[in-house]
């Protein structure tokens, strides 16, 4: 029998694996989107699959249970259960050099993630980008499919890792949407790791202190 794993726990693993991908980028290992996906796959295998044998990570795998021919860059599944999917983007220009983010292409990633909503409880738009760009206006929180869509990205020029999501919360007996953006300097993440405090923990603390709600499911 496979080990039990909760949705929130797996999402924490996914977020923490992104730090390894950012480090790979800063070490010159990542130049293309394919490299970004491969790095994340490798980091996830180290942090999740080696400890939970029944989980599977797929790269661009067919999703027969969803009415779409599109394939998520990464999906994490266990027989009969689908945990998360992700699309990856790195801001390169036609010479494969780091340039400004192609915002139109990044929006297409988010639209693609929306097509996978019937099969997965959450979808991550993951990016490494030179500068800060708004892909979808954070004030239009209805577009973010509360509890499903997440942004996880690294801003090269600022050396920051960022997270954005929207949750449904109860305020005065009424359900409202609440979106939150958290940014943490990479140096602070790496320093915290020395004492065993991972990125997901830092995000959760800042998110709860600022928005008074849980960051993940």
* 137 found inside a domain: yes
Pair 181, 201: CB distance under 8 Å:
no
Average pLDDT over residues 46-58: 72
Please give the residue range of the domain that contains residue 15: 7-211
Tens of pLDDT along 26-40?
A: 999 988 888 998 999
- Name the burial class of residue 183, with classes exposed (0-12), middle (13-18) and buried (19+) by CB atoms within 10 angstroms of its CB: middle
In a domain, 147, yes or no: yes
Distance of CA 79 to the CA centre of its chain: 22
Q: Is residue 146 part of a domain?
A: yes
- Is there a domain that residue 122 lies in? yes
**Overall pTM > 0.75:** yes
In a domain, 2, yes or no: no
Residue 1: pLDDT band (50, 70, 90) is very low
Spatial separation of the C-alpha atoms in residues 38 and 117, rounded to whole Å: 23
Give per-residue pLDDT as tens, 110-155.
Answer: 888 988 888 899 999 999 999 888 787 666 766 777 889 999 999 9
Report d(CA 12, CA 197) in Å as an integer.
Answer: 12
Decide if 207 is inside a domain: yes
Query: Is 1 part of any domain?
Result: no
Does any domain span residue 158? yes
| CB-based contact 104:98 (threshold 8 Å) | no
Number of domains forming the structure of the chain: 1
Q: Identify the pLDDT of residue 103.
A: 86
Alpha helices in 65-128 (DSSP H): 103-115
- % the chain with pLDDT above 70: 87
């Amino acid at each position: 029998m496979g080990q039990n794993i909760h949705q929130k726990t797996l999402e924490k693993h996914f977020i923490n694996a992104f730090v390894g991908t950012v480090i790979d980028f800063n070490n010159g290992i990542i130049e293309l989107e394919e490299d970004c996906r491969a790095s994340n796959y490798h980091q996830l295998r180290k942090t999740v699959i080696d400890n939970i044998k029944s989980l599977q990570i797929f790269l661009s795998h067919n999703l027969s249970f969803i009415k779409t021919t599109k394939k998520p860059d990464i999906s994490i599944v266990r027989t009969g259960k689908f945990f998360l999917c992700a699309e990856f983007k790195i801001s390169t220009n036609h010479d494969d050099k780091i340039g400004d983010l192609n915002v139109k292409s990044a929006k297409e990633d988010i639209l693609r993630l929306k097509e996978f909503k019937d099969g997965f409880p959450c979808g991550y738009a993951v990016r490494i980008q030179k500068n800060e760009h708004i892909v979808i206006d954070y004030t239009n929180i209805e577009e973010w499919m509360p509890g499903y869509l997440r942004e996880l990205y690294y801003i090269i020029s600022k050396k920051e890792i960022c997270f954005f999501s929207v949750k449904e919360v109860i305020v005065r007996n009424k359900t409202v949407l609440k979106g939150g953006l958290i940014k943490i300097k990479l140096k602070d993440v790496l320093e915290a790791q020395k004492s065993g405090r991972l990125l997901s923990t830092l995000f959760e603390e800042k998110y709860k202190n600022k928005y008074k709600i849980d960051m993940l499911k």
